[in-house]
Every structure is written in C-alpha cells, then in structure tokens.
C-alpha cells in the first residue's frame, strides 16, 4: 500500500512539470516555424535560439493579458469552448484541477486541517481553517467560531465557507497538502495516521 501511495503521490507531483515541459516544447517548435522564416528574410539566415526568446515573450504577453479584465473574459470564453469538446474536455478539466490544487497548496490561507460533523450528526466533513479570532460574526453569535473552508471533490479550489464553534471541530495532524490530496483523489490518497508518542513503530 505504501508503494502505491508513493507512486501516486510522485505522479501527482511530476504531472504538472511533465505537462508544462511538453507544452513548452510544442510552443517553442511552433514559434520556431513562425520566426525562423522571418529571421531568414531579415538576417539572411537562421538565428538559433530565436524561438526560445519568442516563446518567453509570448508567455509574458499572455500573462499580461490574463491579468486584466478583458483577458480573463477571453480565457473564460476559451475554457467554455474547450468544455464543449468531448475528449479534450475531460483532459483539460483534469489537468486544470490538478494544477489549481497544487497552486493552492502554496497559499497561506489554509492554516490547519479539521474534521467535524456536517451536514448532520454522524457524517463527517473535512475542512481547512482559514481564520481564528474576533470578528463581527463571532460578536453577534457569542460563540468562539472558527472560519472553515469546505472544499468540493475532486476540485478543492471550489467550495463554501462555514463558521463552526471551536468545541465542535477536531484538528487533524495531516498537513494542508495531504488534506488537499485527500480531497482531490476523492479519498483514494488517505494519509497514514500519525503514531502517538511511545507507540511501537
């Protein structure tokens, strides 16, 4: 079981890198076919490495466009188009969910992983603590509330926020990264339990 766990975890870590390298190689190849004829015309011969410079500039331009309102609308429009293509839709959604999850792992918004009974007693929900402290909601309710983000499976980048009394939650020993993998894998990647001090290994 540990070998399977390590293999799947390694695959999840490497997949974004492999996909990124593959996409970059395709981009460099495509831009090379475009810029090299231009280099032949302007300089009288090929300029090696020009395709890499073109790829860097292209990525920078896409990044600049993606950060403004119009760019975000164009990206959303493109995602909707891809979502209508049967085979590409499944691949794109899976890759996007994976990259979003790994990007979310590095954010500091999630502080701890918790579990509590939700939506009713006897059913447990995993969540991520985003804030603990004073606030208007806590003042109005008179409860010691914990702000918890409840992720959806298999895309933990979406979900909803709940405010739960501290007495009703249990803090888990698993890391935020392990919690995200648990949600993303729909429970298939379940982190091993932490051994208590003095317990035999």
- Any idea what the CATH number is for the domain that residue 122 is in? 2.30.30
| Domain end residue (candidates: 105, 130, 155) | 105
In the structure encoding, which two tokens stand for residue 150, read together? 């409840």
Q: Distance between CA atoms of 162 and 132, rounded to whole angstroms? A: 12
The answer to whether residue 197 is domain-embedded is no
Q: Which has the higher per-residue pLDDT, 69 or 120?
A: 120
Domain that holds residue 51: 2-105
Are 74 and 116 in the same domain?
no
More confident residue, 131 or 89: 131
Question: Is the model's pLDDT at 60 over the cut of 80?
Answer: yes
Q: What is the pTM of this model?
A: 0.49
In a domain, residue 11? The reply is yes
Q: Using 50, 70 and 90 to split pLDDT, how confident is the model at 88?
A: low
Let me know whether 94 and 146 are in one domain: no
CA 137 – CA 84 distance, rounded (Å): 42
CB 32 within 8 A of CB 52: no
What is the pLDDT averaged over residues 108-132? 87
Residue 190 in domain: no
Residue 86 has pLDDT above 50, yes or no: yes
Same domain, 77 and 161: no
**What pLDDT, in 10s, does the model give residues 157-195?**
778 899 999 999 999 999 888 888 888 888 877 777 655
Predicted confidence at residue 102, as pLDDT, reads 56
Query: In terms of Cα–Cα distance, which of 102, 127, 108 is closest to 181?
Result: 102
Does residue 200 form part of some domain?
no
Residues 6+ apart with CB under 8 A from 125: 115, 116, 117, 118, 119, 150
Helix spans in 67-161 (H): 69-82, 86-105, 136-141
Question: Distances from the Cα of 116 to the Cαs of 83, 121, 122, 127, 151, in angstroms?
Answer: 35, 9, 9, 8, 13
Q: How many domains does the chain have?
A: 2
Same structural domain for residues 7 and 101? yes
Residue 147 scores a pLDDT above 80: yes
pLDDT value of position 170? 95
Is 60 exceeded by the pLDDT of residue 196? no
Which of 61, 88, 105 is the last residue in one of the domains? 105
Q: What would the pLDDT profile of 17-36 be if each residue is shown by its tens digit?
A: 777 788 778 888 888 888 87
């Amino acid at each position: 079981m540990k070998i399977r766990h390590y293999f799947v975890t390694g695959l999840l870590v490497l997949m974004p890198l492999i996909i990124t390298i593959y996409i970059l190689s395709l981009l460099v190849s495509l831009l090379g076919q475009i810029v090299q004829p231009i280099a032949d015309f302007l300089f009288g011969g090929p300029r090696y490495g020009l395709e890499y410079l073109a790829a860097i500039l292209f990525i920078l331009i896409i990044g600049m466009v993606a950060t403004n309102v119009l760019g975000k609308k164009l990206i959303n429009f493109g995602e909707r188009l891809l979502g209508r293509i049967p085979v590409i839709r499944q691949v794109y959604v899976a890759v996007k969910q994976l990259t979003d999850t790994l990007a979310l792992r590095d954010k500091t918004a999630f502080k701890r992983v918790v579990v509590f009974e939700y939506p009713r007693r006897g059913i447990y929900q995993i969540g991520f603590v985003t804030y603990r402290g004073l606030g208007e909601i806590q003042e109005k309710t008179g409860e010691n509330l914990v702000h918890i983000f409840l992720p959806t499976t298999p895309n933990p980048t979406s979900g909803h926020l709940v405010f739960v009394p501290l007495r009703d939650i249990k803090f888990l020993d698993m890391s935020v990264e392990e919690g995200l993998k648990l949600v993303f894998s729909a429970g298939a990647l379940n982190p091993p339990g932490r051994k208590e001090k003095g317990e035999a290994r």
